[in-house]
Amino acid sequence: MPGDDIRFGLDRRVRLAAPLTLASGQALHGVDVAYETYGTLNADASNAVLICHALTGDQHVASLHPRTGKPGWWPRLVGAGKPVDPARHFIVCSNVLGGCSGSTGPGSIGPAGDIYAMCFPVITIADMVAAQLALLDHLGVRVLAAAVGGSMGGMQVLQLAATAPDRVRSAVVIASAARHSAQNIAFHEVGRQAIMADPGWRHGNYGDTPPAAGLSVARMAAHITYLSEAGLTEKFGRRLQDREALGFGFDAEFQVESYLRHQGLSFVDRFDANSYLYITRAMDYFDLAAPHDGRLADAFKGTRTRFALVSFTSDWLYPTTESRRIVRALNAAGAEVSFVELESPHGHDAFLLDTPEMNRVVDGFLRAGA
């Protein structure tokens, strides 16, 4: 698919020539996909690896963020000498549709010349994947050597493998699930209600003055689900912040309060409230088995994609049971699949942290498929 390819900060962006037909039935015109690449596509275009980011991630997987100057979000897995290595792979990472890091989302300008805001169509994980496939077309990548993602990134990998099995040889799904559970939806709904309850949200038309308080509360609630109870106890326990004794007030007296408040406030600087609404909605809608009357195996019928799944013992957001459910379905579909549950005290966030075992698993799996 031809398109303009423009430098956007340190990363790039392509405007898709064709409209995207969304799961809702709507057509979305003039879709931009912002992306980063690392390494070089080889002669037979067989070394491309797609990295899919999580809810609040972006395309800057392995390089400095052009605005914040912070390092990429997955340096442990992607980079020189890592399982996904620009010396061997042509690495592609794009900001998801609905995001706020350059790809078209609710903060983009719509056809009427205004910011979409809540006029942006509700999107799905499948729509995100459709945008990524269009980007791969643009880059001349027909078949991916691998797609790799954690959390919502893993959902995209699963969706890609289900939608376009002929376009991905190896799929790595880390700390993820094939559907959002009632508890997953419940936590997201709390976050959305916190944003929408903020009068500064203005039904999405907040312009340059975001609903900071609501978005901050949403992030605080979500952040608790990324960590384990034991991890929080180890990291903070009941320790006080900059004080010797209880203050008998409502300041952030406990370290964990101070930490959470900081997480909430700093999130406001880097993420868009409407994008948060749309992406959480896409995740809540995710249920790969739904089009198959609940039979997840049917989503992968006849697949020749190889799968590796990784879960973490203390991840209660997407617990091991959800990975096992996917493994059972893949087994039933006759797919080649390996699965490992890794010990970690760090809860869901373990997939972003320094976990050498995870790296060994992913490295071995990718090399075996090369």
Binder to a second copy among 45, 143, 232, 297 (CB under 8 A)? 232
Say how far apart CA 343 and CA 327 lie, in whole Å. Answer: 18
Binding mask 197-226 for a second copy (x = CB under 8 A): xxx-------------xx-xx--xx--x--
Please state, in angstroms and rounded to a whole number, the distance separating the CA atoms of residues 273 and 59: 19
Q: Which of 49, 173, 277, 362 binds a second copy (CB under 8 A)?
A: 277
| CB of residue 355 to a second copy, shortest distance in Å | 22
Nearer to a second copy, 189 or 343 (CB): 189
The sign one gets for the Cα dihedral 27, 124, 170, 148 is positive
CB-nearer residue toward a second copy: 14 or 222: 222
Residue 85 to residues 64, 81, 112, 194, 206: CA-CA distances in angstroms?
16, 6, 42, 40, 41
Residue with tokens 């699930």: 177
Q: Is the dihedral of CA 69, 70, 73, 79 positive or negative?
A: positive
Would you give the binding string for a second copy spanning residues 98-117, x where CB under 8 A is met? --------------------
Q: Answer yes or no whether residue 281 interacts with a second copy by CB under 8 A.
A: yes
CB contact at 8 A, 156 and 128 = yes
340 is a contact residue toward a second copy (CB under 8 A) = no
Active site residues: 151, 315, 348
Query: Do 150 and 157 touch, CB atoms closer than 8 A?
Result: no
Looking at the DSSP assignment, which residues form a beta bridge with residue 49?
91, 146
The window from 61-69, 162-170, 182-190, 326-334 that contacts a second copy (CB under 8 A) reads 182-190
Interface residue with a second copy, options 118, 143, 332, 340 (CB under 8 A):
118
The phi, psi pair for 356, rounded to 5°, reads: -55, -35
Shorter beta-carbon distance to a second copy: residue 8 or 254: 254
Is 238 a residue that touches a second copy (CB under 8 A)? yes
Number of Cβ within 10 Å of residue 347's Cβ equals: 24
- Going 134 to 140 to 145 to 148, the CA torsion angle's sign is negative
* Tokens read off for 65: 């963020």
Which CB, 7 or 238, lies closer to a second copy?
238
Among 126, 136, 146, 194, binds a second copy (CB under 8 A): 194
**Shortest Cβ 1–a second copy spacing (Å):** 25
**Which one of 34, 161, 256, 279 is in contact with a second copy (CB under 8 A)?**
256
User: Which tokens hold the place of 255?
Assistant: 């370290």
Radius of gyration for the alpha carbons in the chain, expressed in angstroms and rounded? 20
Of 32 and 322, nearer to a second copy (C-beta) is 322
| Burial status of residue 261 (CB atoms within 10 A of its CB: 0-12, 13-18, 19 or more) | middle
- Contact flag: residue 192 with a second copy (CB under 8 A): yes
What three-state secondary structure class fits 233?
helix
In contact, 161 and 138? CB cutoff 8 Å = no
Is 287 an interacting residue with respect to a second copy (CB under 8 A)? Answer: yes
Among residues 86, 257, 331, 332, the one that binds a second copy under rule CB under 8 A: 257
Among 41, 45, 143, 185, interactor with a second copy by CB under 8 A = 185
Residue 59 contacts residue 36 (beta carbons within 8 Å): yes
Residue 182 touching a second copy (CB under 8 A)? yes
- Residues paired with residue 5 on neighbouring β-strands, in sequence order: 14
Instruction: Tell me if 349 is assigned to a ligand binding site.
Output: yes
- Per the annotation, does 281 bind a ligand? no
User: Which residues are annotated as part of the binding site?
Assistant: 219, 349
User: Which residues are annotated as part of the binding site for substrate?
Assistant: 219, 349
Q: Site residues (CB under 8 A) for a second copy? A: 23-24, 118, 121-122, 179-183, 185-187, 189-190, 192-194, 196-199, 213-214, 216-217, 220-221, 224, 227, 229, 232-233, 235-238, 246, 248-250, 252, 254, 256-257, 260-261, 264, 277, 281, 284-285, 287, 290, 316, 319
